[in-house]
Amino acid sequence: MSETSTDAALRERAARVIPGGMYGHLNAAIFGEGYPQFFVRGEGCRQWDADGREYVDLMCSWGPIILGHRHPAVEAAAAAQQAAGDCLNGPGPIMVELAELLVDMIPSADWAMFSKNGTDATTQALMVARAATGRTKVLVAHGAYHGADPWCTPSLAGTTPSERADLIEYTYNDLASAEAAAASADGDVAAIIATPFKHDSFEDQELADPAFARGLRALCDRIGAALVIDDVRAGWRIDLRGTWEPLGVRPDLTAWSKAMANGYAIAAVTGVDALRGPAQMLYSTGSFWFSATAMAAAKATLETLREIDGPALMERAGTRLREGLAAQAAAHGFQINQTGPVQIPWLSFAGDSTLEMATHWSVACLAEGVYLHPWHNWFLSAAHTDADIDRALQGTDAAFAKLRARFG
């Protein structure tokens, strides 16, 4: 950023009225110098920062944008609902329609409850599991991100030991570790929660070993615990039926959010029939959880994804990106790892444990009009055409060349 940029001026103002100038996952300071902090516009798979620079966007606002910005069907549905009423004394008929749609789309869903944030959904899913079992402990994979409430935020600042006292860690893709964790709880396991693949920050992603997934299912069945899939980050990009459906493993509860309404704020928990009664026992609510506009946007988003086979489009775009990056890295003499599903990809450089190369390359991509992330997985959308991917690859190629000049 130049010191005279609009972004710099906004940062200066922000530093006076926002702690640290920004916080959370969108705090540009935590992912590298050179990243713009403020954005002003989105259209399809392009975004513009406050200084008017255009990017081919490979982050999709960290997941929520799945059909591209300003998708006409979504915007029309949301605007029509907003004009009638959004936050009323009761939910609108759209809430029933959306719940019916989820139950129709998701084989493990017999019911749905809605909220606003991914954290709302993961927290609510654990509450349902605890209400169902009368037990307290939850098995969580070491290093997994399930939200930013005190029980799950990656930083311990501001949290207390009691708030995490009911968690027991296991190792992702290591069934024996989950079995051992369960055994250590002496019958007091309410749930095992897992992301559908390992997408921890700063690390190569790992797909779920199908034997691990089946093993977790069997373990839950054996000990009478609920299997909770946190599909907040991955949901709707891999398989509209749920990310573990292709593995043939069905959860008891699933937490959804992010891409569900193409950027509108909504989250959901879906569950199996046996957990309907326990779900009903909770008092879990929020002032805006029943608001109709985001539900109308969600319905339009999910119907559109089904209609156009969104996951297949994202798979095509992601495959093109992955193959292009592989060829470029080889041509420039870099050893890279590309991990995760192609729709939710990440690229690391071999031996780059400090992420120095990833950071330099990402910032070089930025300068070439390609927005991606040095240590968090990326996201594709159904709006990424072959031409968009090729435009992105043009930028990444130039960035590899710059990287070679420095590290080659």
- Residue 163 beta carbon to a copy of itself: minimum distance, rounded to whole angstroms: 7
- Residue 374 beta carbon to a copy of itself: minimum distance, rounded to whole angstroms: 14
Q: Which residues of 18-43 are buried (b: 16+ CB within 10 A; e: fewer)?
A: eeebbeeeeebeebbeebbbbbeebe
- Residue 175 beta carbon to a copy of itself: minimum distance, rounded to whole angstroms: 26
- Residue 78 beta carbon to a copy of itself: minimum distance, rounded to whole angstroms: 8
- Residue number with CB closer to a copy of itself (115 or 304): 115
- Residue number with CB closer to a copy of itself (16 or 387): 16
- Residue 291 beta carbon to a copy of itself: minimum distance, rounded to whole angstroms: 6
Q: Is 299 helix (H, G, I), strand (E, B) or coil?
A: helix
- Residue 213 beta carbon to a copy of itself: minimum distance, rounded to whole angstroms: 25
- Residue carrying structure tokens 């009323």: 88
44: phi then psi, degrees, rounded to nearest 5: 55, -130
Rg (CA), the chain: 21
- Residue number with CB closer to a copy of itself (37 or 396): 37
Segment (H or E) for 130: helix 118-133
- Residue number with CB closer to a copy of itself (62 or 407): 62
Contact 222, 215 (CB under 8 A): no
Going through 101-245 in order, the beta strands assigned E by DSSP cover 111-115, 137-141, 167-170, 189-194, 197-198, 206-207, 226-230
- Residue 357 beta carbon to a copy of itself: minimum distance, rounded to whole angstroms: 22
- Residue 77 beta carbon to a copy of itself: minimum distance, rounded to whole angstroms: 13
- Residue number with CB closer to a copy of itself (43 or 309): 43
Segment (H or E) for 273: none
**Residue 137, Cβ neighbours under 10 Å: how many?**
23
- Residue number with CB closer to a copy of itself (90 or 351): 90
- Residue number with CB closer to a copy of itself (37 or 339): 37
- Residue number with CB closer to a copy of itself (116 or 402): 116
**Residue 3, Cβ neighbours under 10 Å: how many?**
7
**Residue 97, Cβ neighbours under 10 Å: how many?**
14
Contact 192, 178 (CB under 8 A): yes
CA separation for the pair 212, 234 (Å, rounded): 18
CA separation for the pair 401, 365 (Å, rounded): 11
- Residue 242 beta carbon to a copy of itself: minimum distance, rounded to whole angstroms: 16
Largest CA distance in the chain: 63
Contact 306, 105 (CB under 8 A): yes
- Residue number with CB closer to a copy of itself (83 or 387): 83
Angle at 290 between CA 289 and CA 291, to 5 degrees: 95
